[in-house]
Structure 1
Amino acid sequence: MTATQRRGRRIMMTPGELDEFLATQRTCRVATVSAGGAPHVSALWFAWDGTSLWLYSVVRSRRWADLRRDPRVAVVVDTGEEYGELRGAELIGTVEFVGEAPRTGELCADLDLPETLFARKHFGLEEMPHDGRHAWVRLTPEKIVSWDFRKLGPARPAPR
C-alpha cells in the first residue's frame, strides 16, 4: 500500500460525516459522456436522502440527453477555499429516471421524500414547485470516494 492510499483512508469521511455533508451542501458537478465520447460537466442542485443523490435536471439539456443515451455518471460535491479546508465526495454509478419527464406533479411515491428534501433545502418550501421543464434522476452510488483535509491538522505554509 502506498502513502497516498494510507493518507486517503485517513482523510475520508465517516458515513455520518458524509451524510451530514451531502445533506447540507447545495451544488454538485455532474459529469456525463456526450454523444461523441467527450466528457461534459455541469453544475446542478441536488438532494441526498441518505442512500441516493437526487438530481433535478432540465429535460432539454445536454446533461439530460447524455444521461438518456448513457446513464453512467460521476458527481462531485466539494467545498473549501484553503488547502486545509477542502472537503468533498465523488459519487459514481448509473442513474435511474424517476417520475414523468418533464415533471408536472403526478403522484409518485418514490418522489415524496426527495421532493420534500429538495423544496426545503433550495426553496424554503414544504412542497416542490413543478415547472414542467425539469425531471428527476436518482443516483444510488456504486462507489463513493470522500476527503476532508481538515483531518490533516493545522495547515502548513506552502513550500517556497
Structure 2
Amino acid sequence: MTVAQRRGRRIMMTDAERDAYLTEQRTCRVATVSPEGMPHIGALWFVWDGTSVWLYSLTRSLRWAQLRRDPRIAVVVDDGTEYGELRGVELAGEVSFVGEVPRAGQDCPELDSPERLFASKYFGLDSMPYDDRHAWLRIAPQTVRSWDFTKLSTGE
C-alpha cells in the first residue's frame, strides 16, 4: 500500500523496500491519544504481514485503555544515526482488537500468520508462547509515509 507522498518523493521507499524494511526492524513507537487529547508514545515489538502492523500489547497498559476509548493510532519505525542514514516508515489508522483478551491461544485463524511471524522473529520459536497478559492489535494503515535518506547520496 502506498499513499501519495507529495514531499520527499525522492526519498520515499518503494513498496518492496518498505515491506523488507518493516519485516527486518524489531521495534516501533506507538502513539495513542488520551481523552484530554494528550499523546502517549511507547516502544513495542511488532510484525508486518505485508498489509497490516500487528502489535502484541499488554492489556493492562495505558496504551490499551486509550485505544479502547479512541482507536486512532500512529506507528513509527525508524533507524539511522547520521542524517544521510535516516530511514523510516510512519503508518496511521485505527486499531482492531483481534482474538481473546488476554490471549490464551483459543483458535483464531486470523492470528495464525502474525503469531507465527512474531514467535519466529522475537522468540526463535515455531508457535506463540502465551502469558495471559497480552493480546493482539491490528492496524490496517490508512496512511503510509516513508523516507530513506540514503537515496540522497546514491542519486536514486
- TM-score normalised by the shorter chain: which range applies? over 0.9
Question: What is the Cα-based RMSD across aligned positions, in Å?
Answer: 1.2
For the residues of structure 2 that align with 1:29 and 1:44, how far apart are their CA atoms? 6
Q: CA deviation at 1:35?
A: 2.3
What does residue 138 of structure 1 align with? 138
- Count of residue pairs brought into register by the alignment: 150
* CA shift digits 1:53-96 (9 cap, x unpaired): 00000000000001010000010000111111100000010010
- TM-score, with length taken from structure 1: 0.91
The alignment-based identity, stated in percent, is 66
The answer for the alignment partner of 2:68 in structure 1 is 68
Match in the other structure for 1:105: 105
CA–CA separation in structure 1 for the residues paired with 2:125 and 2:80: 28
Structure 2: state its 5+ residue gaps. 1-5
Q: Which amino acid aligns with 1:16?
A: A
**Higher gyration radius (CA):** 1
Structure 2 distance, partners of 1:140, 1:24, is: 19
Instruction: Tell me the amino acid that sits aligned with residue 84 of structure 2.
Output: G
Give the whole-Å Cα distance in 1 for the aligned partners of 2:144 and 2:52.
11
TM-score by length of 2: 0.94
Aligned equivalents of 2:38, 2:106: Cα separation in 1: 35
The letter of the residue matching 2:13 is M
State how far apart, in whole Å, the 2-side matches of 1:35 and 1:51 are.
29
Secondary structure at the counterpart of residue 126 of structure 1: coil
Corresponding residue number in structure 2 for 1:147: 147
Following the alignment from structure 1 to structure 2, what is the Cα–Cα distance between the partners of residues 14 and 54?
21
Runs of 4+ in 1 over 3 A off after TM superposition: none
Gaps of 5+ in 1: 155-160
Q: 2:82 & 2:121 partners in 1: Cα distance? A: 26
Match of 1:43 in 2: 43
Could you list the per-position Cα deviations for residues 125-158 of structure 1 after superposition, in whole angstroms to 9, with x for gaps in the alignment? 110000000000000000000000000006xxxx
Give me the whole-angstrom Cα distance separating, in 2, the residues matched to 1:104 and 1:34: 28
